[in-house]
Structure 1
Amino acid sequence: MENHHFNSMQAVVSAADVNERRLDKHRPVARALRGGSAAGADEVLVLAHGQVALWEQGRLCSQDYIDAWKELLQHPQRAAEILEERSSHAAALRQNSPFVASVRKFQALANAA
């Protein structure tokens, strides 16, 4: 029988890798938010507001995240900053991101190019 040992350093690296991937995936969303309507910010915001509403209606997410994203979505430039920030608060917000649909859209566009 194979002996599997949990290595806490591997978990830390793995968590850091996951966070880095989330940060990379949200960069196109941040660019869109900074670019305004011409960059698709309106669509990104509509999708994000819809996601937050679903979380709230279904109680699918902590109220703290719902409240944080509701506030940030009122200030797209600040939301863009959070999406690219390296703080633990920003990492937690990206983990509970209302931008999943937009991330997927931007990934599909990048893959098609």
Structure 2
Amino acid sequence: MQQFSSTDAKQRFGQLLKASASAPVAIEKHGKIQAYLASPEFFERAKKNDPDNSARKLARANQALIEKDRLIRHQRIAFDLATSTPGKRELLIKTALAVVERWRVERLCSVDYIQKWEHILKMSPQKMAATMVSDIDGWGTSLRQNSPWIGVHA
């Protein structure tokens, strides 16, 4: 690491900036380092190599896998709704409605989720199937996270 005295730093500021482009530069006064000067590029490189940043990337990747698993599970349920016999389809929907009603009675989740799932569960089976695997106006991921389809294709 290069070091500049505070006097040199004032008098040769251009050289100081040029030196800081490749690595941080120490500025000293009375034999003690008073400051470090680093370029923005240095901080960008440091961020990319930061283990905390890697941990965040890993956490995001893990969350994306969880969300993908939930989507696949709901795609299987949607397939069942679209292709099952009327009796099996009715039982699936009736069970999901009972779960949503339990949420309401026991106040287990937000009213938003309850209302949205009630709306979805009142649709025709084909429309219900298409809706639960869609984005649903930005609610798709959240609704699949808080789903009434307990144990179905778990």
TM-score, scaled relative to structure 1: 0.77
2:152 aligned to 97, 102, 106, which one?
A: 102
Residues 21-53 of structure 1: per-residue CA shift (max 9 Å, x gap): 111112221012222534821111011000001
| 1:62-91 superposed Cα distances (whole Å, 9 cap, x missing partner) | 100000000000003332113322574211
Aligned residues between the structures: 101
In 2: Cα distance, 1:16 partner to 1:72 partner? 24
- Residue pairs, 1:1-113, within 5 angstroms: 5=52, 7-35=55-83, 37-38=85-86, 40-75=88-123, 76-85=125-134, 88-104=138-154
Question: Going by fraction, where is helix more abundant, 1 or 2?
Answer: 1
The gaps in structure 1 that reach 5 residues or longer are 105-113
CA distance in 2, matches of 1:47, 1:89: 22
| Secondary structure in 1 matching 2:109 | coil
Structure 2: how far apart are the matches of 1:55 and 1:95?
Answer: 14
* C-alpha deviation, 1:102, in angstroms: 2.5
- Counterpart amino acid of 1:85? S
Partner Cα separation in structure 1 for residue 75 and residue 114 of structure 2: 21
What amino acid is the match of 1:98? P
Bigger strand share: 2
TM-score, L = length of structure 2: 0.58
> CA contact under 8 A between 1:47 and 1:102: conserved in structure 2?
no
Contact 1:55 1:66 survives alignment (8 Å): yes
SS in structure 2 of the partner of residue 85 of structure 1: coil
Cα RMSD after superposing both structures = 2.1
Q: Structure 2: where are the runs of 5+ without partners? A: 1-50
